[in-house]
Amino acid sequence: MSGVGELYHQMGEDGIAALVAAFYRRIADDELLGPMYPKEDLEGAEERLREFLVMRLGGPPRYMEKRGHPRLRMRHLPFSIGEAERDRWLELMDAAMDETSTTTSARELLRPFFAQVADFMRNQ
């Protein structure tokens, strides 16, 4: 496995969907991040992250087809994201990887990828 863009073939669509679902089960009740996610759009947020990861990890580009360029920083500007929020997002994603038994080789690629993306989202 040479890069994060090849993880789709290792994890599969179902593995990515399970990871994102495990992550969002934690978001709903999280005191720090939960308020950033409107309850009525939690399913939509989960779908957007799932489709983004499918695309970014080497799968079909459905995210781009539906939403265009990710423009992640712009889309997250309305939310106050500092170090605490970044760290909590990463903590919840680590817990989701634990729950879904994400392989060691996938984690070795996902952790730095998630850290880079989460840090890029910081606007505080």
Tell whether pTM > 0.75: yes
Residue 16 belongs to a domain with what CATH number? 1.10.490.10
Enclosing domain of residue 47: 4-121
Q: Is the pLDDT of residue 95 over 80?
A: yes
What is the number of domains present in the chain? 1
Residue 19 burial (CB < 10 Å; 0-12/13-18/19+)?
buried
Angle at 123 between CA 62 and CA 85, to 5 degrees: 80
Q: Is the pLDDT of residue 68 over 70?
A: no
pLDDT for 73 equals 57
pLDDT for 1 equals 40
Question: How confident is the model over 100-118, as pLDDT tens digits?
Answer: 999 999 999 999 999 999 9
Question: How confident is the model over 13-66, as pLDDT tens digits?
Answer: 999 999 999 999 999 899 999 999 888 989 999 999 999 999 999 999 988 878
